Structure 1
Amino acid sequence: MFTKSYYLLRSTQDGQYLAAKPRNTENSKGFLMLFNADYEALSYVNQHATEVANRFAVEPISGQQLKQMLDRWGYEGVGVVSDPLVPQVDFLRKQ
């Protein structure tokens, strides 16, 4: 996982990254959503958030930077999106 590059969706308004948050958990930052390709990230936001799609930008991140980002932003783990249209997400908790 740490040798691969991923893509993130980041809000152009407040700088927050797209994350999946568990229900009934206010203090959780959630799981950082990762995409395998830039076009998959764009497909995801265009399919599931059409009205705000123009408020997101796609950013690349290397696998080596990922752990540092998880620690810095306080995410519980990652959600790797394998199919952006369905969507199909594999959640991985950091250790």
Structure 2
Amino acid sequence: MLAQIYYIIRSKTDGKYLTAKIDEDKSGYLLLFKEDFDALSYLNTHAADLANRLTVESLPGTQIGSLLKRWGFAGMGIVNDPLLPNIEFFQYG
């Protein structure tokens, strides 16, 4: 997992990351995609009207932990199927 490159979706306007919020008491789970085209498919399917305000960025697996800690995310969600979506959630810390 650490050697893999993941893709994240980020707002062009405020720099915030696309997250899934499972519990109102916790911060969100950072959504990670295994391929850039999966992230683009997710955007086109679930947020086509916002796609022009979002961008897809690469993220080395070695930087995931520090990003989760810095932004205070509860964990990460790896998107296995962007069309359904099918997401596998992992808590951090």
Please indicate the TM-score interval, normalised by the length of the shorter structure: over 0.9
Deviation at 1:54, TM superposition (A): 0.9
Asked if 1:12 is matched to 2:5, the reply is no
Counterpart selection for 1:37 from 9, 15, 35: 35
Q: Which runs of 5+ in 1 are unaligned?
A: none
Counterpart selection for 2:67 from 66, 69, 80: 69
Alignment identity in percent? 45
Counterpart selection for 1:28 from 26, 29, 34: 26
CA distance in 2, matches of 1:56, 1:87: 18
Query: Deviating runs (4+, > 3 A) in structure 1?
Result: none
Deviation at 1:28, TM superposition (A): 2.5
- Alignment-derived partner of residue 92 in structure 1: 90
- Alignment-derived partner of residue 3 in structure 2: 3
Q: Give me the CA root mean square deviation.
A: 1.0
Asked if 1:78 is matched to 2:76, the reply is yes
Q: List per-residue Cα deviations over 1:34-76 (Å, max 9, x = no partner).
A: 0001110010011001111111100000010110000000001
- Per the normalisation by structure 1, the TM-score is 0.93
- Alignment-derived partner of residue 48 in structure 1: 46
Deviation at 1:15, TM superposition (A): 0.5
Q: Which runs of 5+ in 2 are unaligned?
A: none
